[in-house]
Homo-oligomer: A and B are copies of this chain.
Amino acid sequence: MDGGERRQCDDERWMQEALRQAEQASRWGEVPVGAVVVRDGELVAAAHNWRETWRDPTAHAELVALREASRRLGTWRLADCDLFVTLEPCLMCAGAAMLARVRRIAFGAPDPKGGALISKLQALEAGRWNHHPIIAGGILADECGMILKEFFRGLRG
């Protein structure tokens, strides 16, 4: 494997972990979005969306995972960490990842309605803020989108 293939392989491995979190969310009746925080090839934190169960507007998968990673690492600075999330982050979560100084944000499916990295807004575009995470989209996008489609189909059915 060359460097690019290895990166792709790692990306898909971690997105699979995020997808497992999204599946857990479904079982709780939560919109199935999952996220993991990774450092040096090790899982630091994994979480899914908990908004309905916790009745907390801020309990998106990314925010819960970032807070858990900070708790485990004992610092709010997650500079060597990468965030993987099954759905393109919203404004709040894009902002939280930037505040936490994550190195890279990798997401699965784009979010045409709420996505704040590429779809509705390029909220973290270079030159605007002090810190700019690397952004990568489309990792296992079909699987990440499908779990959402199935969830909403189930709600309507």
Contact = CB atoms under 8 A, between A and B. Distances in A.
A114 interface: yes
Contact of A123 (B67, B71, B98, B123): B123
Interface residues of A, number: 39
A61 interface: no
Provide the main secondary structure of the chain A interface.
Answer: loop
B96 A70 contact: no
A99 B55 CA distance: 12
A100 interface: yes
| Copies of this polypeptide in the complex | 2
A72 to B, nearest CB: 10
A63 interface: yes
Interface string A91-113: 11111101111000000000001
Interface in A79-99: 90-96, 98-99
A56 to B, nearest CB: 5
B93 A57 contact: no
22 contacts: A54-B76, A55-B76, A56-B71, A56-B76, A57-B66, A57-B76, A57-B100, A57-B101, A58-B63, A59-B76, A90-B99, A91-B92, A91-B94, A91-B95, A92-B94, A92-B95, A93-B95, A94-B95, A95-B95, A120-B128, A121-B123, A121-B128
